[in-house]
Structure 1
Amino acid sequence: MISILAQVTGNVASAAGVFAAAIGVGIIGMKAAEAVGRNPGASGKILVQSVLAIAFAEGLGLLALFLAK
């Protein structure tokens, strides 16, 4: 019984971590598109920073996925 509860708790925690990373990626993409709309000349710098931020968010999502199991 306790092992089933531990598995369910781990699955919920890993799902929450991955869900939070997905929300973070969406917000980063939304704000990057907004920034490019405001200043199209800076699209190269915005792209680099947003790709790095997305990579860090996805890395934290994967970290949450593996640490919660």
Structure 2
Amino acid sequence: MSVKFNLYGSEGCHLCEQALALCLAVMPATALAEVDILDDEQLLELYRISIPVLERLSDGKKLFWPFEQAQILELL
């Protein structure tokens, strides 16, 4: 399975770790790419105060934290 979602966050972000655990509970790890916003100035500007953010790559639809497993399932 190829990557279908990006999870935007940053290293050491406890909310990002919670979001990752929620995502991995309902989708395979191969469907998800973790993207550190600190590695990209544009992403940092976009998501600085919003992380974690889950994005469906097929259409760009995003979930901004806080989100729950049910919302992730709807996004699948």
Q: One fold, TM greater than 0.5?
A: no
Greater helix fraction, Structure 1 or Structure 2: 1
Larger of the two Rg values belongs to structure: 1
Structure with bigger RCO (C-alpha 8 Å, 6+ apart): 1
Greater strand fraction, Structure 1 or Structure 2: 2
Q: TM-score, normalising length from structure 2? A: 0.28
